[in-house]
Amino acid sequence: QVQLVESGGGLVKPGGSLRLSCAASGFTFSDYYMSWIRQAPGKGLEWVSYISSSGNIIYYADSVKGRFTISRDNARNSLYLQMNSLRAEDTAVYYCAREVGATGRIDPWGQGTLVTVSS
């Protein structure tokens, strides 16, 4: 079945860096757009970044632009999020998600990985 498994979360100090990974299985990864979406503790969902199937189209939320970099390796069925200059407000569960089409239909979602930015 379709599965997305995130890894790489943890505790990091403000200004630090972290790289999240997402391993995909059960579908042809290279056919799909992929997104990262986050949820701060007790808060709602916030779309973070999106990458097209070939990687040539990338979007970022204004809140992370210039600090985060999304990438993918279709040969390894993997999605990545490099997060630099982390701030306390980046603390959240980060979900990897498959986008069906290019109009925001997100299905499925991974189980999420928690990123905590604190000194």
Partner 1 sequence: QSALTQPASVSGSPGQSITISCTGTSSDVGGYNAVSWYQQHPGKAPKLMIYDVSYRPSGVSNRFSGSKSGNTASLTISGLQAEDEADYYCSSYTSSSTHVVFGGGTKLTVL
Closest separation in Å from C-beta 77 to partner 1? 19
CA distance 19 to 16: 11
Binding site for partner 1 (CB under 8 A): 35, 44-47, 50, 59, 61-62, 95, 100, 103-112
Closest separation in Å from C-beta 43 to partner 1? 8
CA distance 92 to 107: 20
Nearer to partner 1, 3 or 118 (CB): 3
Closest separation in Å from C-beta 119 to partner 1? 27
CA distance 110 to 97: 6
Chain centroid, CA 108 distance in Å: 13
